């Protein structure tokens, strides 16, 4: 079975949860490269959105989400409820991004 639905709430509207399979997660640890830091530093001189960091964050979130979806699929879930993200700087320039939720089986 493939997890195809996700929700930040604890239900999928129009579906009934028939089985809870537990917490699933995707974890990625990213660092900024020296060249990326230099480029972002130059962007920061002009203010506004620092696109190099935005892209890095977006990529890390997507990878952690994809890992969580795979974890749910491996458990036989077709949905994930209560999806959340968390990020922590674990060392200078090194950040952990965690995406987690509860894997469930739902039926219409």
Rg of the chain (C-alpha set)? 17
17: CATH: 3.30.110.70
Residues facing residue 29 across a β-bridge = 96
> Is residue 53 classed exposed, middle or buried when 0-12, 13-18 and 19+ CB atoms within 10 A define those classes?
middle
With beta carbons less than 8 A apart as the criterion, state whether 99 and 84 touch. Answer: yes
Half-sphere exposure of 105 (CA within 13 A, CB side): 7
- Tell me what pLDDT residue 78 has: 96
Which domain range does residue 17 map to?
A: 5-107
In terms of pTM, does the model score above 0.95? Answer: no
Reported as a single tens digit per residue, the pLDDT across 16-27 is 999 999 999 999
Buried residues in 56-87 as b, exposed as e (16+ CB within 10 A): beeebbebbbebbbebbbebebbbbbebebeb
Q: How many domains does the chain have?
A: 1
- Tell me what pLDDT residue 47 has: 64
Instruction: Write out the two tokens for 9.
Output: 């709430």
Reported as a single tens digit per residue, the pLDDT across 32-55 is 665 555 665 666 666 666 677 788
- Tell me what pLDDT residue 97 has: 96
Give the number of other CB atoms < 10 A from CB of residue 26.
22
Residues facing residue 24 across a β-bridge = 101
């Amino acid at each position: 079975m493939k997890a195809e639905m996700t929700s930040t709430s604890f239900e999928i509207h129009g579906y009934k949860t028939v089985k809870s399979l537990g917490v699933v997660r995707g974890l990625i640890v990213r660092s900024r490269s020296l060249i990326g830091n230099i480029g972002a530093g130059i962007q920061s001189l002009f203010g506004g959105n620092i696109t190099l960091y935005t892209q890095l964050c977006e990529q890390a979130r997507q990878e952690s989400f994809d890992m969580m979806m795979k974890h749910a699929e491996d458990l036989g879930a077709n949905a994930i409820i209560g999806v959340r993200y968390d990020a922590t700087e674990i060392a200078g320039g090194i950040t952990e991004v965690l995406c987690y939720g509860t894997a469930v089986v739902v039926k219409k």
